[in-house]
Amino acid sequence: MADPKITHTEVLSLTQRGGHIFQLIVKAPPGDWTDPGVFAKLRAWAEAPYVYPLLDRPISVHRFSKNGPERTLEFLIREIGPGTSFLAKLKPTDKLKITGPLGRGLLSLAPDILSQPLYLVAGGIGLAPMACVLELKPPKPLLFYGERSGCFQIDRDYLASFAPDFMASTEDGRGYGQKGLVTGLVRKALEVEKRTILACGPRGMLAALAPLARKFGVRLYVSGEAFFGCGLGVCLSCSLPLSDKTRFRLCQEGPVIDGLKVDWDKR
Amino acid sequence: MSADLKVKLGPLTLKNPVIAASGVFGYGLELAAFCPPENLGAVILKGVGAEPWPGNSGPRLVEAAGGLVNAVGLENMGVESLIKKVLAPLKKRGGVIVGANLIGHSLEEYLAVAKKLAETEVDFFELNVSCPNLSQGGAAFGSDPELTARLTEKTVRLARGKPVVVKLPPLVTDITEVAKKVQEAGATAVSLINSLPALVIDAKTRRAALGNITGGLSGPPIKPLALRQVWLCARAVSIPVIGIGGIMTAADAAEFIIAGASAVQLGTAILADPRTPLAVIEELETYFKEENIHSVGDLKGTIKGPWE
Ligand SMILES: Cc1cc2nc3c(=O)[nH]c(=O)nc-3n(C[C@H](O)[C@H](O)[C@H](O)COP(=O)(O)OP(=O)(O)OC[C@H]3O[C@@H](n4cnc5c(N)ncnc54)[C@H](O)[C@@H]3O)c2cc1C
Ligand SMILES: Cc1cc2nc3c(=O)[nH]c(=O)nc-3n(C[C@H](O)[C@H](O)[C@H](O)COP(=O)(O)O)c2cc1C
Ligand code: FES
């Protein structure tokens, strides 16, 4: 388990990447940020007395880089409410409160994962941690990226800059890629070649992947979603049900978990 | 002269009046790197029942009105696991005062927990009487003052001298009546308030935000209401009153003490930042020095009218 710290770090850049999405680069605080799925809690607005928004916002690591002595941490964030709007207004040299590294990443759950060809499945901003996986150079990774509408899509060139091989879909048929659900693309791919699936996105998408993975007999690792009260394992607001009737804390035992062990029918 | 923040809770001496509330400090050790439990007056563990409880379906938490509405539903590991896994490592740190928050669906369930914990290193009990009483149609225990008093009396008898704090439910016709009844029944102190029943709806989707539909409101929006309840209770009973509700800063904590509280608990503030209790203690010290206050007793109940 990571050893999280609360620090204030410096913003290096903020770049629009289309679809109400921006890329935020900061100086990396101490800690091991390399395991895909690991997240941070970010706060770019007033601290004590903590009025509005009250809680820090959990955001996955998009990428971690080390250029000589300079370590940087990147986030890919969709502006959808008050917290992310504050983050979207950050400028270089601004200070940002950051708590992390938090949670258990992919490699700690499945250390052998990078030796095999993978299907990466991203729904919406679930795209963020996929860059981390791709940086670790698994053989032949194929990324599926779905959005509800073309207007939410990330800039195609930016996507291509970190994902050499991808297929996109939108539900409304606008933008680049095909019309339909991303799970439809995954199904077709599985019919041709079976591969382990890594997925991050809305609950509905993850729940739909579980029966597909079962049917084709492939492994499924997901980074799930829940409202986090603390992100530190104390409040149980992120607890989700497993098929064996027990529950687990997404912020501690996850966010990356075995998608076949989750009870997707319960909440 | 240095400020003395010590407060008494029955036979216990707390090194300061700042306590971590139940439900936001896990089982005592999870936040130790940010907030060492031994630096606080006490820590109260997540509510614990006779058996494990699964809690409510998600979503379990949402922000609203500058506060939080939670419907965790008292998910917990059950008293057996608490005794086996939690207490020894927590007490081994030394100097940690541990309160257990007792929950149950019936009188018998509460007492089963009390009986088991009486023989452990737990320092005091806090009875969470906001739980639904399943044998009486699911209304909160605390809404029945007689039943609450009976539960208090029986718990005190089982507690082997450990202090018994009763955490009063926030929505009763007359909170002072319940406070007086539990004082008569032998409670060491009362704590209040618990989160307030609340509902959050999204106008666009018409959906309730929480899996349980309703939840409990906590944080800054409940502070004025909690202050009044604490003020009322502190005038009605002679046992210590522990103030809870939207305390985010030392000034908030001081206000509760001025209203009559002997100590305070922080809930939501710990979710906002786990280091908040330490900041509150430090700033309280400064406030005591600046205002020339020598002890918590000096400040307690010193509320004045606006023209005094
Ligand atoms: C482990 C994890 C990793 C995430 N990674 C990313 C990421 O890389 N990029 C990104 O853009 N988003 C990510 N999110 C989602 C992000 O946390 C929410 O979009 C953000 O909190 C919304 O806050 P807001 O104030 O802008 O909007 P709000 O209007 O407050 O909320 C919009 C939506 O976000 C959810 N949300 C709000 N607060 C929280 C919270 N404290 N915890 C969890 N969900 C919340 C709400 O349920 C709601 O559905 C991640 C969430 C989790 C749990
Ligand atoms: C996520 C969460 C879980 C809680 N769990 C419990 C609990 O198990 N037992 C209990 O007596 N109170 C519980 N509470 C209530 C708090 O202890 C406290 O009484 C309430 O939140 C008001 O204080 P605050 O405004 O400082 O948060 C919980 C509160 C929150 C936010
Ligand atoms: S968010 Fe609080 S326990 Fe996971």
B131 is catalytic: yes
Which SS3 state, helix, strand or coil, does residue A189 take? helix
The pLDDT of residue A161: 96
Residue B134 pLDDT: 66
CA distances from B178 to A161, A182, B238, B286 (A): 66, 57, 13, 36
Best to test chain A binding among B40, B53, B63 (most A CBs inside 10 Å): B63
Taking the alpha carbons of A74, A77, A82, A87 in that order, is the dihedral positive or negative? Answer: positive
Centre of ligand 3 from the C-alpha of residue A228, in Å? 5
| A54–B75 CB contact, under 8 Å | no
The span from the CA of A30 to the CA of A201, in Å, is: 28
Pairing, β B263-266 against β B18-20: parallel
B128 CB near ligand 2 (under 6 Å): yes
Question: For residue A19, what pLDDT is reported?
Answer: 84
Residues of chain A contacting residue B220, judged by C-beta atoms under 8 Å apart = 49-51, 54
- Among B101, B273, B278, B284, the residue to mutate for chain A (most A Cβ within 10 A): B273
Distance A58 CA to ligand 1 centre (A): 6
pLDDT digits (tens, 9 = 90+) for B103-133: 999 999 999 999 999 999 999 999 999 877 6
pTM score, two decimals?
Answer: 0.96
Output the pLDDT for position B137: 65
Round to whole Å and give the CA distance between B42 and B96: 7
Distance CA A55, CA A161 (A): 33
Alpha-carbon gap, residue A135 to A130, rounded angstroms: 9
Among the atoms of ligand 1, which is closest to the Cα of residue A62? 8
Active-site choice (B72, B131, B158, B222):
B131
Distance A165 CA to ligand 2 centre (A): 48
What pLDDT digit, counting tens, does each position of B181-226 carry? 999 999 999 999 999 999 999 999 999 999 999 999 999 999 999 9
- ipTM at complex level: 0.95
* pLDDT values of chain B reduced to their tens digit, one per residue, 308 residues: 567 999 999 999 999 999 999 999 999 999 999 999 999 999 999 999 999 999 999 999 999 999 999 999 999 999 999 999 999 999 999 999 999 999 999 999 999 999 999 999 999 999 999 877 666 666 788 889 999 999 999 999 999 999 999 999 888 889 999 999 999 999 999 999 999 999 999 999 999 999 999 999 999 999 999 999 999 999 999 999 999 999 999 999 999 999 999 999 999 999 999 999 999 999 999 999 999 999 999 999 999 999 98
